Amino acid sequence: MHAHPSSRSAGRPPVRSMALTWASAVVPGLAHWVAGRRRSAVVIFSLALALLIGIVVLALTTSRTELLRMAVRPGWLTIVIVVALAVALQLATYLGPVAAVVKVVELDAREWLLVAGCAAIPAVAGQLGKLLGARAGLTTP
């Protein structure tokens, strides 16, 4: 990967920046909070918490069979895809000029393959879900 010329990100050592990135995966909005963007942090954390609560309530009030049926139902998958795209577009417009905030670097072929592999994960997961649902007799292949 290409390193930032100063080996620092927003004035922080790279290790601290990576730690904030990893911690934000567990506590969404944490990096925003540390960066002083308190309102954004509260909104991000609140949305993540609401989503988590919704998933827990759904899991506790729905049978395993019905959860599997919902996971492979095309209508539900379409809703998930549409919502994910809407959130991605909103974030892309909300972040504004990313180049002004983050040092943008060109990717080499190996890095593009990594990005493509990460992008393919949802498609592979969807196909696995479809196969597992078919094996459980919940859907047709």
pLDDT in tens, 60-89: 998 888 888 887 888 878 888 888 888 777
- Which tens digit of pLDDT belongs to each residue from 29-53? 888 888 888 888 888 889 889 988 9
Residues 102 and 55 in one domain: no
Question: Which residue range(s) make up the domain with 97?
Answer: 63-141
Residues 73 and 139 in one domain: yes
Residues 16 and 39 in one domain: yes
Residues 73 and 128 in one domain: yes
Question: What CA–CA distance (Å, rounded) separates 67 from 63?
Answer: 6
pTM (predicted TM-score): 0.49
Residues 90 and 138 in one domain: yes
Q: What are the backbone angles phi and psi of residue 12, rounded to the nearest 5°?
A: -105, 150
Which pLDDT score is estimated for 24?
Answer: 79
Q: What is the DSSP letter of 7?
A: S
Residues 72 and 57 in one domain: no
